Amino acid sequence: MDFGKAKLIDEGNGLIVVATPTRGVDAGSNFTVAFDASSGEVVQTAEAHLKQTSESSGIAKMWKDGVSVVDKEFTNRDALNLGPTADGFIERLNRCLSNAGIPAWLLAAAAAGCGLGPAAAKIACIVALGIGAGTASYWVRYALDDN
Protein backbone atom coordinates (compact mmCIF):
# COMPACT_ATOMS: atom_id res chain seq x y z
CA MET A 1 0.00 0.00 0.00
CA ASP A 2 1.18 3.49 -0.81
CA PHE A 3 -0.25 5.35 2.19
CA GLY A 4 1.46 8.58 1.08
CA LYS A 5 -0.93 8.67 -1.89
CA ALA A 6 -4.08 7.76 0.04
CA LYS A 7 -7.14 9.87 -0.71
CA LEU A 8 -9.97 10.70 1.66
CA ILE A 9 -13.50 11.67 0.69
CA ASP A 10 -15.99 12.98 3.21
CA GLU A 11 -19.28 12.39 1.48
CA GLY A 12 -21.07 14.71 3.89
CA ASN A 13 -23.73 12.06 4.36
CA GLY A 14 -22.10 10.18 7.21
CA LEU A 15 -19.69 8.28 4.99
CA ILE A 16 -15.90 8.58 4.85
CA VAL A 17 -14.07 6.81 2.00
CA VAL A 18 -10.31 6.18 2.12
CA ALA A 19 -8.63 4.98 -1.10
CA THR A 20 -5.04 3.77 -1.10
CA PRO A 21 -3.12 2.75 -4.22
CA THR A 22 -1.41 -0.61 -3.93
CA ARG A 23 2.29 -0.98 -4.68
CA GLY A 24 3.77 -3.73 -6.79
CA VAL A 25 0.73 -4.19 -9.01
CA ASP A 26 -0.46 -2.40 -12.12
CA ALA A 27 -1.32 1.30 -12.12
CA GLY A 28 -4.89 1.90 -11.07
CA SER A 29 -4.87 -0.92 -8.56
CA ASN A 30 -6.30 0.25 -5.29
CA PHE A 31 -7.64 -0.71 -1.86
CA THR A 32 -10.62 1.26 -0.56
CA VAL A 33 -12.41 1.33 2.78
CA ALA A 34 -15.72 3.08 3.45
CA PHE A 35 -16.41 4.04 7.08
CA ASP A 36 -19.52 5.21 8.88
CA ALA A 37 -18.41 8.65 10.08
CA SER A 38 -20.34 8.56 13.35
CA SER A 39 -19.51 5.04 14.53
CA GLY A 40 -16.19 4.49 12.76
CA GLU A 41 -17.43 1.08 11.62
CA VAL A 42 -16.33 -0.25 8.25
CA VAL A 43 -19.22 -0.18 5.79
CA GLN A 44 -17.36 -1.84 2.93
CA THR A 45 -13.91 -2.73 1.65
CA ALA A 46 -13.09 -3.00 -2.04
CA GLU A 47 -9.89 -3.95 -3.82
CA ALA A 48 -9.10 -3.95 -7.52
CA HIS A 49 -6.12 -5.06 -9.55
CA LEU A 50 -6.28 -3.72 -13.10
CA LYS A 51 -4.20 -4.32 -16.18
CA GLN A 52 -4.98 -2.61 -19.48
CA THR A 53 -4.21 -5.11 -22.24
CA SER A 54 -5.05 -2.88 -25.24
CA GLU A 55 -6.66 0.47 -26.06
CA SER A 56 -10.07 -1.14 -25.65
CA SER A 57 -9.64 -3.91 -23.08
CA GLY A 58 -8.21 -4.83 -19.72
CA ILE A 59 -8.19 -7.45 -17.00
CA ALA A 60 -9.92 -6.70 -13.70
CA LYS A 61 -9.67 -8.68 -10.49
CA MET A 62 -11.90 -7.31 -7.76
CA TRP A 63 -12.80 -8.16 -4.19
CA LYS A 64 -15.59 -6.70 -2.03
CA ASP A 65 -15.34 -7.31 1.69
CA GLY A 66 -12.63 -9.90 1.01
CA VAL A 67 -14.73 -11.96 -1.40
CA SER A 68 -13.65 -12.28 -5.03
CA VAL A 69 -16.37 -10.78 -7.24
CA VAL A 70 -14.58 -10.36 -10.60
CA ASP A 71 -11.65 -12.05 -12.31
CA LYS A 72 -11.88 -11.59 -16.07
CA GLU A 73 -10.95 -9.56 -19.12
CA PHE A 74 -13.34 -6.80 -20.19
CA THR A 75 -13.61 -4.95 -23.48
CA ASN A 76 -15.24 -1.67 -24.43
CA ARG A 77 -17.91 -3.77 -26.13
CA ASP A 78 -18.83 -5.26 -22.71
CA ALA A 79 -19.89 -1.78 -21.60
CA LEU A 80 -22.23 -1.55 -24.60
CA ASN A 81 -23.78 -4.87 -23.58
CA LEU A 82 -24.77 -3.56 -20.15
CA GLY A 83 -28.00 -2.28 -21.65
CA PRO A 84 -30.22 0.41 -20.22
CA THR A 85 -31.16 0.40 -16.55
CA ALA A 86 -34.58 1.42 -15.31
CA ASP A 87 -33.11 4.35 -13.37
CA GLY A 88 -30.62 5.37 -16.11
CA PHE A 89 -27.65 5.01 -13.72
CA ILE A 90 -25.40 3.04 -16.10
CA GLU A 91 -26.10 5.37 -19.03
CA ARG A 92 -25.25 8.51 -17.04
CA LEU A 93 -22.17 6.90 -15.49
CA ASN A 94 -20.96 5.82 -18.95
CA ARG A 95 -21.46 9.38 -20.25
CA CYS A 96 -19.31 10.75 -17.42
CA LEU A 97 -16.61 8.15 -17.89
CA SER A 98 -16.50 8.73 -21.64
CA ASN A 99 -16.31 12.50 -21.22
CA ALA A 100 -13.36 12.07 -18.87
CA GLY A 101 -11.53 9.75 -21.27
CA ILE A 102 -11.89 6.68 -19.04
CA PRO A 103 -11.99 3.45 -21.09
CA ALA A 104 -15.43 1.84 -21.32
CA TRP A 105 -14.01 -1.51 -20.22
CA LEU A 106 -13.61 0.02 -16.74
CA LEU A 107 -17.35 0.73 -16.69
CA ALA A 108 -18.02 -2.92 -17.53
CA ALA A 109 -15.68 -3.97 -14.71
CA ALA A 110 -17.39 -1.54 -12.31
CA ALA A 111 -20.83 -2.84 -13.23
CA ALA A 112 -19.70 -6.44 -12.76
CA GLY A 113 -17.86 -5.87 -9.51
CA CYS A 114 -19.66 -2.97 -7.88
CA GLY A 115 -23.23 -4.00 -8.46
CA LEU A 116 -26.19 -1.79 -7.77
CA GLY A 117 -25.89 -1.15 -4.04
CA PRO A 118 -26.17 2.21 -2.26
CA ALA A 119 -24.21 5.23 -3.51
CA ALA A 120 -21.63 4.82 -0.73
CA ALA A 121 -20.80 1.32 -1.86
CA LYS A 122 -20.65 2.37 -5.52
CA ILE A 123 -18.21 5.18 -4.73
CA ALA A 124 -15.94 2.93 -2.65
CA CYS A 125 -15.95 0.27 -5.34
CA ILE A 126 -15.38 2.66 -8.26
CA VAL A 127 -12.53 4.32 -6.37
CA ALA A 128 -11.00 0.87 -5.91
CA LEU A 129 -10.86 0.69 -9.71
CA GLY A 130 -8.25 3.42 -9.53
CA ILE A 131 -10.55 6.25 -10.58
CA GLY A 132 -9.86 9.34 -8.49
CA ALA A 133 -11.88 9.59 -5.30
CA GLY A 134 -13.35 13.01 -5.98
CA THR A 135 -14.07 12.07 -9.58
CA ALA A 136 -15.80 8.81 -8.60
CA SER A 137 -17.86 10.62 -6.00
CA TYR A 138 -18.94 13.23 -8.57
CA TRP A 139 -19.75 10.60 -11.22
CA VAL A 140 -21.83 8.45 -8.91
CA ARG A 141 -23.74 11.48 -7.61
CA TYR A 142 -24.28 12.67 -11.20
CA ALA A 143 -25.36 9.21 -12.38
CA LEU A 144 -27.81 8.84 -9.48
CA ASP A 145 -29.34 12.25 -10.15
CA ASP A 146 -32.21 11.76 -12.57
CA ASN A 147 -32.79 15.48 -13.20
Per mean pLDDT, which range of 5-9, 116-120, 131-135 is the poorest? 116-120
- Answer whether residue 147 shows pLDDT above 50: no
Domain membership of residue 139 as a residue range: 3-144
Exposure of 20 in the CB half-sphere (CA atoms within 13 A): 12
* 65 compared with 10, residue with greater pLDDT: 65
Pair 60, 50: CB distance under 8 Å: yes
Task: Please tell me the predicted confidence (pLDDT) of residue 127.
Answer: 62
69: confidence class by pLDDT, cuts 50, 70, 90: confident
Structural domains counted in the chain:
1
- Answer whether residue 83 shows pLDDT above 70: no
Task: Please tell me the predicted confidence (pLDDT) of residue 68.
Answer: 92
